Structure 1
Amino acid sequence: MIVLETRRLILREFEAEDLEPLHRIFSDPETMKYYPAPFPVQKTRDWIRRNQERYRNDGYGLWAVCLKETGELIGDCGLVKQIIDVGTEVEIGYHINKKHWSKGFATEAAQACKDYAFVRLGISKLICIIDPGNAPSIRVAEKIGFTKEREAFIFGKNHAIYAGTKESGAGMERTAFGK
């Protein structure tokens, strides 16, 4: 099911058939540099299942990012509830296949997810949880208008928390919403 459409991308719900192309991304050591380790096949399968549960339970999750022109799955991007400190916040998360890095796809997908969260879902604040050494992810967060809010210990290490609010959400893009 298509959730979002941008100029160059389609974001849709994950399907079981997405395992192989998603695993190519998640098993790559360079792509997963800021995770504890690249994913084995079962962890990628669990990732897809967990997001399918999020679609049912939360109405959103991480979605497959596909090139509009070819249909190729090039990553994931979407919205995930995260427990940080004592509260729950909604994060925009993203991974793009390294052969498609530096083409603006992560920014385009993240901007579409931001627009969707603020306009369609009525969420007033979003975050990105980023390893402080992950300069490319920091650039994506900044390009969609997020600023560093604080640091937090999550997932077993310190992370920078970048945040944006609906009120500071200038620069809303033209995004077609599915569903």
Structure 2
Amino acid sequence: MTRASVVSVSRDSAHRFSKPVVDEITLVAGLGVEGDAHSGTTVQHRSRVRRDPSQPNLRQVHLMHEEVLEEARSAGLDVSPGEMGENVTTRGVDLLGLPTGTRLRLGAEAVVEVTGLRNPCTQIEGFEPGLLKQMVGRGRDGQVERRAGVMSVVLVGGTVRAGDEVVVELPAGEPLPLQPV
């Protein structure tokens, strides 16, 4: 079995669609990625702030697995790590198949808890025509499938770099499927 790992890390201090890849990011417990526009205890995504700025920030760290990006590239789309706004790009773990409450140990120190699915917006289509259709579709059962990564909160802070191991800790009890947050 292949070891799950971090492929790249990204952050941006401004609210832009893509985030530039950097050498390392620092996760801060209860806040998110240090220096990122989406860091904070309450919602930072502009559309959510307009609705209710006092909501808790369940979207502190956005993770995507490289395999989804590879599928998009196989479909003729030009997308690389960080370009869909994710902070952490991983390989070797099916993030979309994890239950709510899964803890991911990123590197030696940092731990995030998966809160739900990223609900892709139309900005994706503006970035790369056809990408929205790749990231949102219908499953065999007719249900909407969101493939644009998962959102999480930081439980334990630490530095995360490309090459760091990702360790999955499933929650106890009946698994709760991921829902958009």
Q: TM-score, normalised by structure 1?
A: 0.27
Q: Which has the higher helix share?
A: 1
Higher relative contact order (CA 8 A, sep 6+): 2
Q: TM-score, normalised by structure 2?
A: 0.27
